[in-house]
Structure 1
Amino acid sequence: MTILARREFVATIVTLAGTALPFGIGGSDDDQDAGPDDRLDDADAELTGVVDRIERDLAVVLLEREEETVAQRLVQLDRLPASARDDGAVLSVRLSDGDIERLRHDAAATRRRREAARERLNELAEDAS
């Protein structure tokens, strides 16, 4: 089984089973407990979210506080703003009782992060020359 086939299999199982992972699917009525690796110390928060990857109809969103990843959530793709349905998109995330209440695309922050990443890659390429 190839890696892509495995990812599709896992995404299908998660979609069919609800949540069998140690973190919840954003916005559902299911328990949003992200397990022992979830370092959110309050249930109501304004955080930065970054779309880590998209697999089928789910997005893995990393939740950050002060540029440190503190948790992750699975979010149905149709809940993301259309402009944020891309790896690396930066979101403003509002949590209420641990559940994702609001997602807003931060286009300016997305552009800044992508430019910074390009600059780092260019510096690494120059150093390797």
Structure 2
Amino acid sequence: MKNSMVLTLLPLLAVPAAAQQATADAPGFSVKGDGSWELICHVVGRGEDQPGIVLSPRRSSYYSAALLHADCQSTATAPSDLAITISGAKKCPFKSASADACTTTIHKGRVVQFEFSANGTR
């Protein structure tokens, strides 16, 4: 009985890792920073329009294979530096980003606004 219970649970334990891999390959963005901050995004995807995606310390990333375009803005000045990373962008919107990574740091006290289209969009 004990062995059959372990074998039954093994496929369930593998699901989060598989979901994380699918998420990592999808276009999207993430934010890291201390304190209380919010980034509100209007996301347009294949067959979906989500005007109120809110990122915060509780939910600091959004990835979707259906993502076509995102327009984001912080609601107030951040209490600490925020590191923003975008993956799968057709063109990185950050002037200070390196050639190999679409990442920028928004310094404490600044309001941020950015938008991008995902690869494969017109």
The TM-score normalised by the length of structure 2 is 0.26
Q: Which has the higher contact order (CA 8 A, sep 6+)?
A: 2
Q: Could you say which structure has the higher helix fraction?
A: 1
Q: Could you say which structure has the higher strand fraction?
A: 2
